Amino acid sequence: MHRITRLENGLVVITGEMPHRASVSMGLWVGVGGRHESAALCGVSHFIEHLLFKGTRKRSARRISQEVEGIGGDLNAYTSEENTCYFSKGCHDRFDILLDVMMDMVLHSRFDPLEIEKERMVIKEELAMYLDQPQQQVLEILNEITWPDHPLGRSITGTEATVAALQRADLLTYLHTHYVAGNTLVTVTGRCRHEEVVRAVKSYAKHFAPGSAQSFLPAPNEQKAPRLRLFTKPTEQTQFALGVRACSRHDERRYALRLLNTILGENMSSRLFQVIREDRGLAYSIGSSLGFFEDTGTLTIAAGLDDKNLQPTLKLVMKECRKLTERAPTKSEVKRGCDYLIGQMELSLESTTNQMMWIGEQWLGYGRILSADTVKQRIAAVTPAQIRKVACDFLRPENLCLALVSPIKSSRGLISILND
């Protein structure tokens, strides 16, 4: 059961009590991410995330990690398109330490100029690492062509140029604009008591400046023909990512889309895996995935394969997509997909960390928490006809974007496959 308290300054505290667990997981969330950034500030949210681990007024970077790891816990963070999350896990009787370290990081980080320069170099190495990973690079290229000249199309990590240009004043201004009470959420799950968590958080909440979430640029949805971009480089395989814009996380069609994704490519039982790997041996791995945002979404199919297998594989992918628009899946196939999604959800939510993530993502995404039972019921209610309908809505040739990282030098013939 989840309990919610909104403090006087707007900061929200949500707990999920799991009294039979030995651990407690905590998330400190801020409603800011890559899509809030201007082109000039691309990567600033991610840069700030890194810097909050680099020392506060009373803790060095080493002491931050030592205090958490020294009690057998762990501490991490991530930046996404719409949120930034700092999260930790430890024994329930060490919650006060986890909370103090994380609040100290968010409220009192020094942004020491020397540490900024060191971390600037670290992030440049991170960028270089991604460029050395074609399977990651192809997804970045896909975002660029799906959302041209829009924050969703830019890298969350930034570029070498933007990271080099960010100054301490830029970082602090951005921090003070977004890391405010009305844009901050604390989630705690595991062996905890709501009243005790609220009381503990209150002692820090007064240090958050007043303020609320900032708006961002709406996602463009106009596309009249397939888009393609080839990045030629010497690699052992061709990596491709085929994407299509889909519905937002608020759209009722998202439940049918989740089942479509499962049937199409989410696991080893899926149509794409069976046809392309098991039946024909064209790729070691192929899969599909979904991403949902405030006002849009994506469905992505990705694989790595031998250059000569690219066109045959793309033709098979398009054939399987077309099948879903022409004929609804069978009831038994939908039942298997439903059981898979519900089973994965149940297994995931046994973890205090995953429970904490569920709460944070639900609250920041919807302003409320949908219970797991409600989501299961909505998934179980999806019909084969609804799955075919969302396939017809989204799997249209004019909506497709194809990104390639490959040693091939020409993309001739690939657009005709997408239009077929």
- Give pLDDT tens digits for 197-211: 999 999 999 999 999
Annotated catalytic residue within 17, 49, 115, 361? 49
- Give pLDDT tens digits for 162-179: 999 999 999 999 999 999
Pairing mode of beta strands 227-232, 400-406: parallel
**Pure H helices in 327-403:** 331-348, 352-366, 372-380, 384-394
CB neighbours of residue 207 within 10 Å: 12
Average pLDDT, the chain: 97
d(CA 172, CA 119): 15
d(CA 332, CA 121): 53
**Pure H helices in 52-158:** 61-69, 95-108, 113-131, 134-146
- Give pLDDT tens digits for 125-162: 999 999 999 999 999 999 999 999 999 999 999 999 99
252 is known as an active-site residue: no
pLDDT for residue 49 is more than 90: yes
Q: Is the dihedral of CA 97, 101, 106, 108 positive or negative?
A: positive
Q: What percent of the chain has pLDDT over 90?
A: 99
d(CA 370, CA 379): 13
- Residue whose pair of structure tokens reads 């951005």 in the numeric block: 174
Q: What value does the mean pLDDT take over residues 203-225?
A: 94
The answer for residues whose C-beta is within 8 angstroms of residue 150's C-beta and 6 or more apart is 217, 219, 220
Angle at 400 between CA 333 and CA 135, to 5 degrees: 80
**Closest of 22, 362, 77 to residue 189, by C-alpha:** 22
Tokens of 88: 């930790």
Tell me the C-alpha to C-alpha distance, in Å, between residue 193 and each of 198, 349, 378. Answer: 9, 19, 30
d(CA 192, CA 189): 7
Q: What percent of the chain has pLDDT over 70?
A: 100
- Taking every pair of Cα atoms in the chain, the longest distance, rounded to a whole number of angstroms, is 64
- Give pLDDT tens digits for 70-108: 999 999 999 999 999 999 999 999 999 999 999 999 999
- Give pLDDT tens digits for 263-315: 999 999 999 999 999 999 999 999 999 999 999 999 999 999 999 999 999 99
pTM attached to this predicted model: 0.96
Query: Cα–chain-centroid distance for residue 180?
Result: 22
pLDDT for residue 18 is more than 90: yes
- Give pLDDT tens digits for 243-269: 999 999 999 999 999 999 999 999 999
pLDDT for residue 222 is more than 90: no
Q: What value does the mean pLDDT take over residues 7-36?
A: 97
The structural domains of the chain, ordered by start, are 2-205 (3.30.830.10), 227-419 (3.30.830.10)
